[in-house]
Structure 1
Amino acid sequence: MARLDGASAELRGGDRIRKIENCSPNIKIPMDPRHLVQLAAILEKGSITQASRHLHLTQPTLTHNMQTLEMQAGGRLFERSRYGVRSTPLGEMLAREGRAIARRLKDAAEVTARHRGGIRHQVRLGIGPVIGAAVMGELAPVLLRQFPDLALALQNDRPHLLLEQLIDGGHDFVIAPSWLEHPPPGIVRQLLADDELGVFCARRHPLAGKAELGAEDVDDRAWISLGTASPFDQDVRGKLEAVGVQRLRVEITVLGDAAMLLDMLAQGQHLAVLPRFPLRRLAARFGLVELPMSGPPTPRPIYLWCRAGLLEDAVMGEVSELIVETVRAWAR
């Protein structure tokens, strides 16, 4: 009987604990990081069914974990519909943390694998498409010769997206132009090239080789744009308006892929506004020339970006110095 009374007391105690956990607003239960990763997977895949397969979990388990997370977060994380799930603002904020945790876990696995192979350091470098095409082929060997136990993880993307990824912890460094007067809080930048925009075309283009061009020469010509949704688009249009171009006929828009843009530009049917420093290094390879357009210069400085605390690491500080020294020498 004593044993039964004890068991009953233990069950009643467990019931009280569960009631406290479920009902008391003053007791906070830490969120399980795995649940945040699972939430990110659900929103990425668009359904609990697809996420459960990706995560190798049963649907009831995943549903229960999301109910627990919603209880702890104090609100709905996503809405279900016939087309899948759609995140709420709260769900998107927590999913962002889940994606960061997933990246850290992936990074940890990669660190372990690299360490077994004799690699002691990794630099995650994001780089804009045009500047990446212009410098990375030579810059990577420079870094690897100086740091034999270094591994490079390179990502090419549009500059404003790279900066967002840097803020989220997705990169150690970013090489990209700036559209901001000042860097975001916690981010520092160093000038690599005090660059400007120019108008470029292929050597075979009808306008190539002319000594002087006016607005009437380029008005209503076919253009290629490197992403009309970027913060730099206004600079491009401003440059053309400054020289009197009224009709800008953009036939092709390329998002984040410099090689594709330059290859199409080399065919000789289009014009493009591009930064001068990278194009000086790429012009011979793709058979391109800059057109002699009048008008005031349009600055497009290129920077090395990183989080402020990163430079406290001795190796990262040396990597930063070498990148700055090397690219500045090329830009002179």
Structure 2
Amino acid sequence: MNPNLLKQLAMVVKQGSISAAAEQLFITQPTLTRSLQQLEMRVGAPVLARTRYGMIPTEIGARLAQIGERILAETEQGDEVIRQWHSGYDNQFAIGIDPLWEYATVAEMTSGFLSQNRYVFHCRVGSAATQIEWMQGGELDFLLAPAHLSVAHASGSQGALQREVVFRDRSGVFVGKQSRLLGSQQPISPDVLEQQRWLIAGASAGFLSGVEDPAAQQAARIAFTGGIRSVIHLLNTTSMLVRLPARLALMTTEIDPQQMIQVEGQTSARRDIALWSRRQDSERPDSQKVREFIRDWVTGLDHSVGEFGLDL
């Protein structure tokens, strides 16, 4: 089958009309109509239906349009690679970023990537579970994410990934600014914490098999993965509690150090950030150079940022 037919179908579905799709594809409307007729002859059934809301795909049309979407994406990626080559860039690297890391280090991170004039960086922010899947599926070259993640569940492919701790951190319990526990100087007992309203954020919201505070897990009313803005909002406006990587949370400057409390009889667990990469790429010269740059930049940040009294 001519892949152009699938690409054109996908564009019609995306635009909702033949005329708009033809404009995007830089072809005439009669040409696009003939292509769709040719595709329907091959299928033996309609691939589009006209409704009051525009053109929508039939069942088989929707399945073929999904394939066409992938062809469109690869075509656009090919065009971008050509543009990068003409602009003098050597290679492109896709880097997964932990949401809290992105929020806490945005100035330093973007400055660091822009300093590398030979490469193009595509930064993708997402939850830990999603990022690991992207990494194992070859969609990411590197990943800055929690070092403690377990990936043994993913088709036994943990050996294909390697990780190096580049930023030290520990977990901490943070209370909302409306909490009566705000500014507590003494460790808080687990019995008191069990009575509080909790929220769950990050890996603890579903990727890991459990969290450090069983009582908190039972009491949690809301959970967030893949983002941090809502968590910070709730910490600034409610009395809810959450466990977060303490150093990164305080680096955002939107969480007050007085909001971090100590838990009686409990030592905070390590929540270090690791640089994840694929073993099969370790011998590629350009991949080695970018890995060394990211490692040196992040470890430099680790040594230059305050430790906020944490036992690192």
Coarse TM-score class (shorter-chain normalised): 0.5 to 0.7
Query: Is the Cα contact below 8 Å between 2:136 and 2:161 reproduced in 1?
Result: no
The answer as to whether partners of 1:219 and 1:248 remain within 8 angstroms in 2 is no
Instruction: Quote the Cα distance in structure 1 between the aligned partners of 2:254 and 2:107.
Output: 13
Q: How many residue pairs are counted as aligned between the two chains?
A: 288
| Structure 2 counterpart of 1:275 | 245
> 2:264 matched to 1:291?
no
Alignment equivalent of 1:233, drawn from 194, 206, 217 = 206
**Contact 1:197 / 1:273 at 8 angstroms: preserved in 2?**
yes
* 2:226 corresponding residue in structure 1: 256
Aligned to 1:209: 183
* Letter of the structure 2 residue corresponding to residue 149 of structure 1: R
CA 1:234–1:266: 2 relative to 1, 3 Å: same
Q: CA deviation at 1:234?
A: 5.8
Instruction: Say whether residues 1:199 and 2:173 are aligned partners.
Output: yes
Question: Paired residue for 1:157?
Answer: 126
Identity fraction in percent? 19
Which of the two has higher C-alpha Rg? Answer: 1
Asked if the contact 2:204–2:210 (Cα under 8 Å) also holds between the matched residues in 1, the reply is: no
Matched, 1:305 2:280: no
The CA distance in 2 between the partners of 1:86 and 1:167, in whole Å, is: 34
CA contact (8 A) 1:132 1:156 kept: yes
Distance 2:261 2:127 in 1: 25
CA spacing shift, 1:309–1:200, aligned 2, 3 Å: same
Moved more, 46-55 or 215-224: 46-55
Deviation for aligned residue 1:180: 1.3
Which residue of structure 1 aligns with residue 295 of structure 2?
Answer: 324
Shift of 1:277: 4.3
Take 1:164 and 1:77, find their aligned partners in 2: how far apart are those partners? 36
TM-score normalised according to structure 2 size: 0.68
Measure the CA separation in 2 of the matches of 1:196 and 1:280: 12
Residue pair 1:139, 1:323 contacting (<8 A) in 2 also: no
Counterpart residue number, 2:107 = 137
Cα pair distance change 1:65/1:141, threshold 3 Å: farther
Matched with 1:108 is: 81
1:142 shift after superposition:
3.5
Work out the CA distance in 2 between the residues paired with 1:246 and 1:108: 49
Match for 2:84: what amino acid? Answer: V
How far, CA to CA, are the matches of 1:103 and 1:220 in structure 2? 53
Q: What corresponds to 1:148 in structure 2? A: 117
**Matched ranges for 1:89-128 at <5 A:** 91=64, 94-95=67-68, 97-98=70-71, 100-112=73-85, 115-116=86-87, 118-128=88-98
Structure 2 spans left out of the alignment, 5+ residues: 304-311
Partner-residue secondary structure (3-state), 1:238: coil
Alignment root-mean-square deviation, CA: 4.3
Distance 1:63 1:93, change over 3 A: closer
- 2:174 and 2:139 map into 1 onto residues whose CA distance is 33
Q: Which residue of 1 aligns with 2:161?
A: 188
Structure 1: 5+ residue stretches without partners: 1-30
C-alpha separation in 2, matches of 1:36 and 1:100: 12
SS in structure 2 of the partner of residue 153 of structure 1 = strand
More deviation, 262-271/311-320: 262-271
1-structure distance, mates of 2:20, 2:177: 51
Q: 1:275 and 1:158 mapped to 2: Cα distance? A: 14
1:238, CA displacement in angstroms? 3.0
Superposition TM-score, scaled by structure 1 size: 0.65
Q: Structure 2 vs 1, CA of residues 133 and 47 (structure 1 numbering), >3 Å: closer, same or farther?
A: same
Structure 1: distance between partners of 2:294 and 2:5: 39
Whole-angstrom CA distance in 2 between matches of 1:245 and 1:54: 50
State whether structure 2 residue 126 is matched by structure 1 residue 173: no
> For 1:43 and 1:302, how far apart are their aligned partners in 2?
42
Deviation, 1:320, is 0.7
